[in-house]
Chain A
């Protein structure tokens, strides 16, 4: 063997080694990601039940859409694609994703700009904003559920004292406010992450640009929109898409904070509900497949439209 490798060119030898270095990782990813995904898609095309995973029969796309003609001659469309509960979940998820990411970006920008300035105690502020990020989602959901409690919650108390509301609000249970509650917690928890990503982008902006602008007496707001924002656009774009994808698949926060509210049920939550709580395993699998498809389309669109460079090779 030793003589053999000796005959190979250095590049070939390196490529061969590279193959063996990558193979175990790819195998692992295949087992935990690709194969389960294929199985989920397969389940979605059958009538499999949770209690009998191998007893499913192929039913084509019936879980997605099927037409039944009743005896009375009436036509009835059935399946996820005509299920109002599913579309409600899609709407909830999309709304949640856009609103939360919007606020997280704006607030993140503000926090990042603050952190980018030189001032005493900057280290403390940076440490403080890392706290929400470090707290497990379940824990933050529980903490906020307690603070948002309608009877004994501190949020109602603060708002009553400030005169913002005149009656205690049942944040997590009332259909009007449940989504606000989820948004509030998510924004609280994820803004730090956004801020740090944006901050990294900000720190790459050369200081002398600002100095020059200052000398020319350009309005700081103008500087921000004309100079800073275009320069950090790539960092911002990457941060936004990652947050967006995270927001589209949100599960644990909603599951713990507002378990049964139709006003906040997201795609992940409704899929799990169908798979496990209701006796519709294959139907839930169809919904998770759709979620996957939606995210895939979203990513492709974004890459295509935004020409975002993920590989990082463009910089070299």
Chain B
């Protein structure tokens, strides 16, 4: 009996190890590669053999990669602030006020988050051209609303629905207007939810590729994913794996740190939204 138990414990931990190795290995390998240069790249290394910052220097010192990081930070932050601002008020109304067609409205908002990006690409391209914001950060900020806003509204609505009714009733008795209720009463309770949704929306905007690829034309307006996607080699036919991996590590490490710090909250947010951030 105990032998069997030991066996199943070993089996369990073996499974755990497999899961961890599978999850982490590609990123580990990217880090190893990012420290490798020259012909060493074309030898297969399981362990870091050399340790060279050259690839990082190439990426950070070269053409506008730092600029791309700032573009991404600016675009993602602005998108998130904008989406949260619209979403907080809207989700208060959706969660707390009874009115006809509320369920339908929620369904419609959810439907928007399921839009294939490609289906709106042609129309958005026209809109962006019409507004004269092609190749500016605003083109991305505008287009990212399509996936950040429904998501934030949806998650915040779920959160707000669960806030106790009594608090709000007390505020209403005191004569507070809905605006006061949101800003003074709910906001302090809501901020953990805001941080989580904001972070998830931030990751979504940070990672977006198709719109950013379509709406930028100069190197100084590229976002990080586009910059990595378009990172090019020393000659027409050469792919610069070393710098690509270095760039990948640079943009991923902050995200991973953020995710690890907020992991519990993210899990809660994901569950509430049921939407891929």
Residues of chain A having any CB pair with chain B under 8 Å:
10-11, 14-15, 17-19, 21-22, 24-25, 28-29, 31-33, 35-40, 43, 53, 110-111, 114, 117, 119, 121, 124-140, 142-144, 146-147, 151-154, 157, 188, 190, 192-193, 196-197, 199-200, 238-239, 242-243, 245-246, 248-249, 251-252, 255-256, 267-268, 271-272, 275-276, 281, 284-285, 288-289, 291-292, 295-296, 299, 310-313, 316
Q: Does B6 contact A (CB under 8 A)?
A: no
Q: Are B255 and A135 in contact (CB under 8 A)?
A: yes
Q: Are B228 and A32 in contact (CB under 8 A)?
A: no
Interface residues on B, range: 35 or more
A270 nearest in chain B by CB position: B118
Contact of A245 among B16, B24, B42, B114 (CB under 8 A): B114
B120 nearest in chain A by CB position: A36
Q: Are B178 and A21 in contact (CB under 8 A)?
A: yes
Once bound together, how far apart are the Cα atoms of A255 and B127, in whole Å? Answer: 24
Q: A192-B23, A295-B116 are in contact. List 8 more A-B contacts (CB 8 A).
A: A22-B89, A32-B146, A36-B127, A38-B123, A152-B42, A154-B44, A252-B225, A310-B107
* Residues of B218-249 contacting chain A, CB below 8 A: 224-225, 228-229, 241, 244-245, 248
Q: Are A136 and B86 in contact (CB under 8 A)?
A: no
Once bound together, how far apart are the Cα atoms of A110 and B22, in whole Å? Answer: 14
Q: Are B241 and A39 in contact (CB under 8 A)?
A: no
Known: A130-B260, A288-B118. A311 touches B103 (CB 8 A): yes
Shortest CB-to-CB span from A191 to chain B, Å, is 9
Shortest CB-to-CB span from A139 to chain B, Å, is 4
Q: Are B93 and A18 in contact (CB under 8 A)?
A: yes
Q: Are B97 and A136 in contact (CB under 8 A)?
A: no
Q: Are A299 and B111 in contact (CB under 8 A)?
A: yes
Once bound together, how far apart are the Cα atoms of A313 and B109, in whole Å? Answer: 15
Q: Are B99 and A18 in contact (CB under 8 A)?
A: yes
Once bound together, how far apart are the Cα atoms of A20 and B266, in whole Å? Answer: 30
Known: A39-B126, A312-B161. A17 touches B93 (CB 8 A): yes
A110 nearest in chain B by CB position: B15
Contact of B16 among A39, A119, A135 (CB under 8 A): A119
Contact of B112 among A29, A129, A151 (CB under 8 A): A29
